[in-house]
Structure 1
Amino acid sequence: MALVTTTEMFKKALNSDYAIGAFNVNNMEIIQGIVDAGQAENAPLILQVSAGARKYAKPVYLVKLVEAAVEDTGVDLALHLDHGADFEICKSCVDGGFTSVMYDGSKHPFEENIRITKQVVEYAHAHGVVVEAELGKLSGVEDAVHVDAREASFTVPEEAAEFVEKTGVDSLAVAIGTSHGAYKFKGTPYLDFERLKTIHSLIPDTPLVLHGASTVMKEFVDRCNEYGGDIPGAQGVPEDMIREAVKHGVCKVNIDTDLRLAMTAEVRRVLVENPAEFDPRKYLGPGRDAITRMVRHKIKDVLNATNRR
Structure 2
Amino acid sequence: MPLVSGRDLLEHAKQNHYAVGAFNFTNMENLQAIIAAAEELNAPVIIQITEKSIAYAGLGYLHALGKFAAETARVPVVLHLDHGKEWSTVIHCIRNGWTSVMIDASKKPFEQNVALTQKVVEVARPVKVAVESELGFIGGKEGDITPEGDIYTDVEQAVEFARRTGTDALAIAVGTAHGIYKGEVRIDFNRIKEIKERTAMPLVLHGSSGVPDEMIRQAVEAGINKVNFDTEIKLAHLAALKNFLQEHPGEYDLRKMNEPGRQAMKEKVKEKIRLLSSEGQNWQ
* TM-score band, normalised by shorter chain: over 0.9
Structure 2, gaps ≥5 residues long:
none
Q: Which amino acid aligns with 1:210?
A: L
CA distances 1:82-130 after superposition (whole Å, capped 9, x unpaired): 0011322210110121110000010100000000000000001122211
Pairs within 5 Å for 1:40-119:
40-119=40-119
Pairs within 5 Å for 1:153-302:
153-182=151-180, 184-186=181-183, 188-204=184-200, 206-214=201-209, 236-300=210-274, 302=275
Q: Which amino acid aligns with 1:268?
A: K
Question: Does the 8 Å CA contact 1:138/1:152 hold for their aligned counterparts?
Answer: no
Q: How many residues are matched?
A: 282
State the alpha-carbon separation in 2 of the partners of residues 15 and 70 from structure 1.
23
Moved more, 266-275 or 13-22: 13-22
Q: How far 1:2 moved relative to its partner?
A: 0.9
Question: Normalized against structure 1, the TM-score is what?
Answer: 0.88
- The 3 A distance-change label for structure 1 pair 150 and 159 is closer
Q: How far 1:149 moved relative to its partner?
A: 8.9
**Deviation beyond 3 Å, 4+ runs, structure 1:** 147-152
Q: Which amino acid aligns with 1:207?
A: P
Using the aligned pairs only, state the percent identity.
Answer: 43
Moved more, 189-198 or 169-178: 189-198
CA distances 1:234-267 after superposition (whole Å, capped 9, x unpaired): xx11111110011122100000001110111101
Other-structure match for 1:32 = 32
State the alpha-carbon separation in 2 of the partners of residues 59 and 70 from structure 1.
16
Q: Which amino acid aligns with 1:285?
A: E
State the alpha-carbon separation in 1 of the partners of residues 21 and 95 from structure 2.
24
Q: How far 1:67 moved relative to its partner?
A: 1.6
Q: How far 1:15 moved relative to its partner?
A: 5.0
Q: How far 1:155 moved relative to its partner?
A: 0.1
CA distances 1:123-175 after superposition (whole Å, capped 9, x unpaired): 01122211000000111114xx4344988710000000000100000000000
CA RMSD of aligned residues (A): 1.5
Q: Which amino acid aligns with 1:6?
A: G
Q: How far 1:18 moved relative to its partner?
A: 1.6
Question: Normalized against structure 2, the TM-score is what?
Answer: 0.96
Question: Does the 8 Å CA contact 1:18/1:251 hold for their aligned counterparts?
Answer: yes
Q: How far 1:285 moved relative to its partner?
A: 1.0
Question: Does the 8 Å CA contact 2:179/2:207 hold for their aligned counterparts?
Answer: yes
